[in-house]
Amino acid sequence: MSKNIAVIGLGIMGLPMAKNLVGAGFAVSGYNRSPEKAKALAAAGGTAAGSIAEAVAEADVIITMVPDSPDVEAVLTGDDGILANARAGTTWIDASTIRPDTAIELARQAREAGLKPLDAPVSGGEQGAIDGVLSIMVGGEQADFDAMAEVFDAVGKTIVRVGPSGSGQTVKAANQLIVAVNIQALAEAVAFLEAYGVDTTAALQVLGGGLAGSKVLDQKGQKMLDRSFEPGFRLQLHHKDMGIVTSAAREAGVATPLAASVAQLVAATVQQGNGHLDHSGLFTLVEQLSSGSGDSGSTRNVA
């Protein structure tokens, strides 16, 4: 338990993960592009680093938790980046959600520089990160994965190695497809129930106990009823993830018609200026598509 851990990216997910690592007894040094977030880590018993070089200098393990593929690439390969500053033998865990092909290429570069790379994207949202119960899908060498058991245990609950480098990101892309389609289905169901004046709280309660029940329904249903879309997981990030899954599926020759449709709906919601909302904010577009007088083609009120 004497590991020094550097965490790069202390946003909605990275900060609570770093705090849980502190809580598990690790020495945690954190760096974030906007420096005030690192102060929150220092207040929780970690150390605020002024640069990536400073954060990783003594690290046995480096965790990156930044938004997108170009961000991970910059943090890894930039002049002040991980490759230029980390000690050989250090394990690099990328917990960000990025393109599988980028993960494979960056893992290759990291190995060449003497690091042990693991792609380890997570699922479970902000609350899962705060509670330390994330689902973590890991790609990389078995031995490197095994050596990180204590680290993963401090931030997650379901931790599975799914294959070689890049596999974690492929599984995460599938995760994002399933979640987006579920949110869209829930949003349509809520709009439908409201249109019929049903007691939606009662409806979601009973739906949650049957086959329609899901974590999406449990965590996002009330947000839709309340029109409360504070992130959580920003739609802008889910837009990125739908791009990842639709392009990876196309390259593999896999037809994903639902993913393609929901990707368009996510894109439109973001384009309307709602990328900062939680992904349950997909509901705003469903609501908008159904708004208006509704008298030209509705069968409901026709005798």
Residues of this chain that interact with ligand NAP (CB under 6 A) are: 8-14, 31-34, 37, 65-67, 71, 74-75, 96-97, 122-123, 125-126, 232-233, 237
Q: CB of 96: closest distance to ligand NAP in angstroms?
A: 4
Q: CB of 210: closest distance to ligand NAP in angstroms?
A: 26
Side-chain-facing half-sphere of 230: CA atoms under 13 Å: 4
Strands 61-64 and 91-94: parallel
Q: Between 80 and 205, name the residue whose CB sits nearer to ligand NAP.
A: 80
Q: Between 9 and 140, name the residue whose CB sits nearer to ligand NAP.
A: 9
**If you search the block for the tokens 């997108």, which residue do you land on?**
68
Q: How far apart are CA 208 and CA 17, in angstroms?
A: 29
Q: CB of 213: closest distance to ligand NAP in angstroms?
A: 21
3 state SS for 116-165: EEEECCEECHHHHHHHCCEEEEEECCHHHHHHCHHHHHHHEEEEEEEECC
Q: Between 34 and 301, name the residue whose CB sits nearer to ligand NAP.
A: 34
Which uninterrupted H or E stretch holds 195? Answer: helix 167-195
User: Is the distance from CB of 58 to CB of 29 less than 8 angstroms?
Assistant: yes
172 is known as an active-site residue: yes
Count how many residues are written for the chain: 303
Tokens of 197: 């004046």
Q: Between 70 and 114, name the residue whose CB sits nearer to ligand NAP.
A: 70
CA-to-CA separations, 137 to 73, 194, 271, 290, in angstroms, rounded: 20, 37, 30, 38
CA-to-CA separations, 7 to 118, 125, 198, 235, in angstroms, rounded: 14, 18, 47, 24
Q: CB of 211: closest distance to ligand NAP in angstroms?
A: 26
Report which residue's Cβ sits closest to ligand NAP: 11
263 CB contacts (<8 Å, ≥6 apart)? 180, 239, 242, 243, 245, 246
Tokens of 155: 């931030």
Q: Name the catalytic one among 116, 172, 223, 240.
A: 172
Q: CB of 16: closest distance to ligand NAP in angstroms?
A: 9
Closest CA to 200 of 186, 190, 188: 190
Q: CB of 212: closest distance to ligand NAP in angstroms?
A: 23
Q: Annotated catalytic sites, by residue?
A: 172
